[in-house]
Amino acid sequence: MTEKTLIDARGSFCPGPLMELIAQLKSAEVGDEFEVLSSDKGSANDIPEWVEKAGHELVESREDKGVWHITVKKKR
Amino acid sequence: MRILIIGGGMGGTILANNLARRLSSEIKAGKVNLTMLSASEKHFYQPGLLYLAVGQMMPDELYREQVSLLEPGIAFHVDPVTEFHLDENQVKTQSDRTYDYDVLVIATGSRVNMEEIPGLAENAEMFYTEEGALKMLKSLREFEGGRVVVCVGVPHKCPMAPLEITFMMHDFFKERGILDKVELYYTYPIGRIHSLENVAKWATPEFDQLGIKYETFFNMKEVDGDNKILRSEEGAEVNYDLLVTIPAHKGMEVVESQGLGKDGWVPIDRLRLNMEGRDNVFAIGDTTNLPISKAGSTAHFEAEALGENIASMVKIGQPVRDYDGKVFCFIEAGKDRATYASFDYLNPPDPKPPTRAVHWFKVAYNQLYWASARGLL
Ligand SMILES: Cc1cc2nc3c(=O)[nH]c(=O)nc-3n(C[C@H](O)[C@H](O)[C@H](O)COP(=O)(O)OP(=O)(O)OC[C@H]3O[C@@H](n4cnc5c(N)ncnc54)[C@H](O)[C@@H]3O)c2cc1C
């Protein structure tokens, strides 16, 4: 069974939502999903760019009232 | 009311002194009991390690007797906590004692975690301990040239350390007259050279101007010490002659093993600083799970907000303010220039061009810190 874990990084500039995601992905299982909540608009670009470079999957990226919801699946 | 503070580092000390002053009459009258438990009789000024690694400070400047920093009215014991019984409002310690509390504050800091990257501990220099910083100084002095690779794990304490050590090594090799034989190669986990966007914007042209090379989206995977190769999670490889790491961190083992929070990070409310689901347990400093900088200044500003709130809870039965996410970090940009980043939950930092004046202010702060820990600054 895979789970979707919420990473609430709203209001964070440092170490930043992406770093939170990277740290959590390292200790996760392949197939696990993470939904990052971020109010930092840079994350909407950063996270998909890293996900592609690192070979994971971007499941969804959407904005809702100034908060980005970015869902990522660990692929390797 | 019994207030128990676990940890005599930056956060715990500033909080204890803040409370001792605000509640001095209640402590004298026996209405409040303020106790601190720590793992060491010494107080350790960790930011000095950066300077130790490049020969600009000596180890004896980094330590003071913890009791010499504490206000009267604080009962201090060197007796590390081994068990947390939060449902019973108790902790147990190494000496087999039980301490009961009404309010608990956890400020046990963080520790380096090198084990998860194979080959890192054996092959990289690391200045996050006194022993590591002295070993690194020796390596830097003996280095004759080649590629120096800086590699960074997350999360780590002191957000500016990767940039600072790179700038400082640049000037160190310049002073040694071997800069032309050295290639500085900086790697960073995300898509720019610092997690704070404006800090990255400031530092990138500085790196370009000094000829410091960089690779982003580089998360350490393993070190092949025989062939002197560092590999990344993203599939990249880089050769090194000297490897310097800012390793990933975890919270303290006891916090993790007692189930207080994953990887030893205590989950707290970002405004009130109380542990999730508990009204009388708080955490400050490095050991929180807040996705903000693990820095002494974070611990300092959290301690001030929490001190005000615990004192007001004693006096009027309710807290008076929220922690606003404030952090202030100096950024050394070499051996004699520095700038700073000041930010909070709502306002990002905006570092200015580095100056000598800011560097000298940081050098002065390295001594003024002892007054700051006492709560005088
Ligand atoms: C190289 C380096 C450079 C840095 N530079 C800067 C800088 O320029 N600016 C800045 O703001 N920050 C800087 N920092 C970060 C700063 O030192 C930390 O963020 C800060 O010390 C955190 O404070 P703390 O109170 O959370 O933890 P600490 O200061 O680490 O204190 C933790 C305390 O808990 C005690 N303890 C541990 N386990 C137990 C236990 N089981 N029971 C009881 N007590 C326990 C320890 O003995 C210690 O007294 C730097 C750090 C390093 C390593």
B66 contacts B38 by C-beta, under 8 angstroms: yes
CATH topology of domain B113-248: FAD/NAD(P)-binding domain (3.50.50)
Instruction: Return the domain boundaries, chain B.
Output: 2-109+252-327, 113-248
How far is B71 from chain A, CA to nearest CA, in Å?
A: 33
pLDDT at A44 over 90: no
Instruction: Kindly tell me if the per-residue pLDDT of A1 is higher than 50.
Output: no
Q: What is the pLDDT of residue B376?
A: 83
Instruction: Please give, rounded to a whole number of angstroms, the shortest distance from the CA of A11 to a CA of chain B.
Output: 5
Q: What percent of chain A has pLDDT over 90?
A: 41
- Summarize the confidence of residues B59-65 as an average pLDDT: 98
Checking if the pLDDT of A15 tops 70, the result is no
How far is the CA of B194 from the CAs of A28, B101, B164, B203, in angstroms? 24, 41, 11, 8
Is pLDDT of B375 > 90?
Answer: no
pTM reported for the whole predicted model? 0.93
Q: What is the mean pLDDT of chain A?
A: 85
Distance B296 CA to ligand 1 centre (A): 7
Across the beta sheet with B237-239, what order do the strands follow?
A: B220-224, B229-232, B237-239
Q: Which one is catalytic: A1, A3, A10, A14?
A: A14
CB of B268 within 6 A of ligand 1: the answer is: no
Write the CB contacts of B184 (distance below 8 Å, at least 6 apart in sequence): B148, B150, B166, B169, B170, B210, B211, B212, B213
Tell me: pLDDT of B263 over 50: yes
Taking CA atoms, B106 is separated from B6, B84, B94, B275, B308, in Å, by 5, 10, 16, 9, 17
> Does A50 reside within a domain?
yes
B2-109+252-327 and B113-248: identical CATH topology: yes
Two tokens, residue B4? 């128990």
Q: Has residue A70 been placed in a domain? A: no
Instruction: From B45, B138, B81, select the one nearest B253 (Cα to Cα).
Output: B81
Q: A18: domain range?
A: 14-31+42-57
A66 within some domain? no
The yes-or-no verdict on residue A40 having pLDDT over 50 is yes
Question: For residue B122, what are its two tokens?
Answer: 């054996």
pLDDT at A43 over 90: no
> For chain B, what percent of residues have pLDDT higher than 70?
100
Of A6-10, B124-128, B262-266, B292-296, least confident by mean pLDDT is A6-10
With a cut of 60, say whether residue B34 has pLDDT above it: yes
User: What is the mean pLDDT of the segment spanning B348-375?
Assistant: 95
> What pLDDT was estimated at residue A13?
55
User: Does a structural domain hold residue A46?
Assistant: yes
User: pLDDT band at residue A25, thresholds of 50, 70 and 90?
Assistant: confident
Span B58-80, average pLDDT: 98
pLDDT category at A6 given cuts 50, 70, 90 is confident
Tell me how far apart the alpha carbons of residues B45 and B62 are, in angstroms, rounded to a whole number: 5
Residue B212 has pLDDT above 80, yes or no: yes
pLDDT beyond 70 at A3: no
Average pLDDT (B316-323) is 97
Closest approach atom of ligand 1 to CA B252: 38
Task: Give Cβ neighbours of residue B46 (< 8 Å, ≥ 6 apart).
Answer: B62, B128, B157, B158, B296
Interface membership of B368 toward A (CB under 8 Å): no
Tell me, yes or no, whether A62 lies in a domain: no
Angle, helices A43-54/A17-26, rounded to nearest 10 degrees: 30
Tokens of B67: 């009791």
**Do B33 and B2 contact (CB within 8 A), yes or no?**
yes
**Contact, B210 vs B238, CB < 8 A?**
no
> Which fold would CATH assign to domain B2-109+252-327?
FAD/NAD(P)-binding domain (3.50.50)
DSSP-assigned states of every residue in B182-210: EEEEEE-SSSSSSSSHHHHHHHHHHHHHH
Q: Is the beta carbon of B104 within 6 A of some atom in ligand 1?
A: no
What ipTM does this complex have?
A: 0.71
CB burial of B352-374 (b: ≥16 within 10 Å; e: otherwise) equals eebeeebbeebbeebeebeebbb
Nearest alpha-carbon partner for B17 in B62, B67, B91, B65: B67
The residue-averaged pLDDT of B340-359 equals 94
The answer to whether residue A58 neighbours chain B at the CB level (below 8 Å) is no
| CB-closest option in A11, A23, A50 to B217 | A50
In a domain, residue A27? The reply is yes
pLDDT of residue A10: 77
What span, in angstroms and rounded, lies between the C-alpha atoms of B95 and B333? 45
The length of chain A is 76
Residues B291-309: what's their mean pLDDT?
Answer: 95
Is residue A72 assigned to a domain?
no
The mean pLDDT value of chain B amounts to 96
Please check the confidence at residue A74 and state whether its pLDDT lies above 60: yes
Q: Domain count of chain A?
A: 1
Q: How far does residue B157's CA lie from ligand 1's centre (Å)?
A: 8
Would you call A28 an interface residue with chain B, using a CB distance cutoff of 8 Å? no
